[in-house]
Structure 1
Amino acid sequence: MDEQRYDVWGSGAAYDRYMGRWSRAVARAFTAWLGRPDGLRWLDVGCGTGVLSAVVRERCRPRLVVGCDRSEGFVRAAARTSVVADAMALPVRDGAFDVAVSGLTLNFLPDPAAAVAGMARAVRPGGAQVAAYVWDYAEGMGLLRLFWDTAAELDPAAAELDEGIRFPGCRPQPLHDLWTAAGLADVVVRAIEVPVVLADFADLWGPFLAGQGPAPGYVTALPPAARDELREALRTAAPTAPDGTIPLSARAWAVRGRTE
């Protein structure tokens, strides 16, 4: 399969229904972990719909927040001070920011090392922070593990799109190595886990029909009969509580380091 064909991200509303609900909770835990003081200049690389930027504005009292993303649709959703830009060729001057962050983006970039090096270049020397987080696709994303394990049982070729296989960099050691290779000091990696409780099966299945991201892209490309078969297999496999809710969890790996 052509994996990039399914890595479609363009609609802010569709993304928000699919992943945005829990990415906000991760963003809040992430910014609390960074512990930055008020009045700083923040750069949000791969800002998407602006979830992380909004949390920074809400909780960190920044002097400035600038977000950048390659998707015009996402930038329109993020609004405010977000611009269309390539994460691997940041259009900012050296040392212009105090903090550079990236949320749920690095694994989708063709050259994550170049992006991290660019983030390090964009912040001032002498203690500025560079940090990011990515989903733990291999083990910690309950919704995606449920989806891909079920899909692969019906269609072994679906495993080629499984982010847990495709993105081996979304683990502690590769993230630590990226940060140290960029010349950053005091590198720390930690897990951030948030609860995911879906209201019912429709709340689980509906976002997969919007075509945003690898799993929804796979679903919308299926013939109707195969799509129906997958839907019913997921309904059977979902860990449904007596009240109809589906409790899962979402884990991200977060990494931070500082300039010297």
Structure 2
Amino acid sequence: MVAEVWSAGDAYEAYVGRWSRRVAKGFVRGLGVPGGARWLDAGCGTGALTAAILEVAQPAEVLGVDTSEGFLAGARARVTDSRAGFRGGDMRALPVPAGRFDAVVSGLALNFVPDPGLAVAEQVRVAARGGTVAAYVWDYAGGMAMIRHFWDAAIALDPAAAGLDEARRFPLCRPDGLRALWTRAGLDGVTVRAIRTVTAFSGYDDYWRPFLGGQGPAPGYVASLSEEHRRALRESLRARLPAAPDGSIPLTAGAWAVRGTVRHSTHRERSSP
């Protein structure tokens, strides 16, 4: 059994947090939420999406909610804007009143929630009438190249690793799965779009080192291996990855973003602040 750890903010930042920040900006811009809105970032992690909202959307306020105190500590250290606040809480039972926020969003977290349908229902509950409910997740099947290369190499050496591959574990992280989840939640105008960004690694060590941090499925798998197996995986990956003449490794990171609007006729009035 491979333990999945989501608690060390610095290790997460080195692994995928730095790339999430790039995707987050494109996600927020694509929502087109007017300035002065009140936002909630459900499953905020280390604050990548919260920071993007502050930079791009001119919000009145942003509240980030996460179960990991380690991630929240990192978010508070990185995001010091007075409009932002962070609170412990579960995406399936958000610790805020109904109808409180104009935009309720989530980045790279929904597929790790045991009951994503309940999590989306909670996003709808806390959104204002006519508000936006949206999320983005990695395209594990092919668009998130750093992770796709990793599992292809891992499975070639150890077929049992296929059970840990996020592309197989999370069918939600595809357009049809996201669209169905948002539609079942009763949201109107549901759309799904792709977001892509460049993930350029300075060299192989820059690519491999984050997999030693223990944060998430792939690093958790690496931590479970013997030294000999870990070395074999490292060299197999080195041979697979595309390298430029200067030794850098140009890859891309892709995500799927879904959004919908809370129905005016079915949602409670906005709660008072």
Tell me the TM-score normalized by structure 2: 0.92
Q: Distance in 2 between matches of 1:230 and 1:178?
A: 36
The whole-number CA distance in structure 2 between the counterparts of 1:8 and 1:136 is 21
Partner of 2:113: 109
Aligned residue for 1:74, secondary structure, equals helix
Q: For residue 100 of structure 2, what is the aligned residue in structure 1?
A: 96
Q: How does 1:77-156 map to 2 (within 5 A)?
A: 77-79=74-76, 81-125=85-129, 127-156=130-159
Find the aligned partners of 1:180 and 1:6 in 2 and give their Cα distance. Answer: 33
2:58 matches 1:58: no
Q: Answer with 6-15 or 26-35: which moved more.
A: 6-15
Partner SS state of residue 101, structure 2: coil
Query: Do the aligned partners of 1:6 and 1:215 also contact (CA within 8 Å) in 2?
Result: no
Counterpart AA for 2:22: A
Task: Flag structure 1 segments of 5+ consecutive residues without an equivalent.
Answer: none
SS in 2 for 1:247: strand
Match in the other structure for 1:33? 30
Identity of aligned residues (%): 55
Which one of 40, 45, 50 corresponds to residue 48 of structure 1?
45
Determine the C-alpha separation between the residues in 1 that align with 2:45 and 2:100: 21
Q: Which runs of 4+ in 1 moved over 6 A?
A: none
TM-score (norm 1): 0.97
C-alpha contact (below 8 Å) 1:97/1:123 kept by paired residues: yes
| 1:175 is aligned to 2:178 | yes
Structure 2 residue aligned with 1:8, among 5, 8, 24?
5
Letter in 2 for 1:122: V
**Inter-partner Cα distance in structure 1 for 2:231 and 2:59:** 48
**1:223 corresponding residue in structure 2:** 226
CA RMSD of aligned residues (A): 0.9
Gaps of 5+ in 2: 77-83, 264-273
* Partner SS, residue 89 of structure 1: coil
2:108 aligned partner, one-letter code: L
**Residue type matched to 1:119 in 2?**
Q
State the 1:20 CA deviation. Answer: 1.2
Residue 61 of structure 2 aligns with an amino acid whose one-letter code is L
